[in-house]
Amino acid sequence: MTGKGSDAVCTFCGQTAGGKSSEQPNSCEYCGSSAGGYLRTVILPEAIGDSAVAYVEGATYPQILLRIARMLIDKHDDKLCGIAIIVMHMACEIATERSLSESFARKGIQYLEDPMAGFLNGYNIANDKVRNFYTSLTGDEIQNMPFWKKFIKSARRRNNVVHKGLSCSLEEAEESFKAVNDFLAHLTK
């Protein structure tokens, strides 16, 4: 749910759901999600500034995260560029998980989703194991897309920030933003 109105929005699929927001997980009537499907109020202005409400209205988590990354990049502060890249890749992992979940549902094999998730080490599609599983389930050979090499470069950049504490330049953050934006656009088409 965004800051206005009484309808809640599923944080997994972004669909408006009836009822009040809650801190307890409720299954979404559209996607059935209970993991990440919390129906609750999101108050970002306190966290990232007064203009944040416009960033959440009608947006899914990946969209919100990408917008927050854009805000961080637009501060033109190299110290925030690495954080922006981390946030961007969080959006990608959420979008990948949702795409896989939709594929399980489309194929009528939702019962396999939880057991199969146990075989994956997260939803970082730059990981060959995750990508191979994604490709097998969806039929989408994403590694052949024009943005893929730049996306992989961005994922390595993200790993360097997280695991080695390296910083990134504004130019690198912009490159990552373009690659991630193209990746998310592909997953949501």
Per the rule left: phi > 0, alpha: psi between -120 and 50, beta: everything else, 38 is beta
The H-or-E segment that residue 16 falls in is strand 16-17
Give me the amino acid identity at 146. P
With 0.85 as the threshold, say if the pTM is over it.
no
Supply the pLDDT for residue 188. Answer: 87
Supply the pLDDT for residue 102. Answer: 94
Q: Which fold has domain 60-188?
A: Four Helix Bundle (Hemerythrin (Met), subunit A) (1.20.120)
Output b/e per residue, 79-115; b: 16+ Cβ within 10 A. Answer: ebbbbbbbbbbbbbbbbbbbbbbebbeeeeeeeeeee
Output b/e per residue, 144-172; b: 16+ Cβ within 10 A. Answer: eeebbebbeebbebbbebeeeeeebebeb
Assign 114 to helix, strand or coil: helix
**Which position has the higher pLDDT, 94 or 10?**
94
DSSP state of 108: T
Least confident of 46-50, 120-124, 142-146, 162-166: 46-50
> The tokens 């759901």 sit on which residue?
17
**Which position has the higher pLDDT, 160 or 23?**
160
Which residues make up the CATH 1.20.120 domain(s) of the chain?
60-188
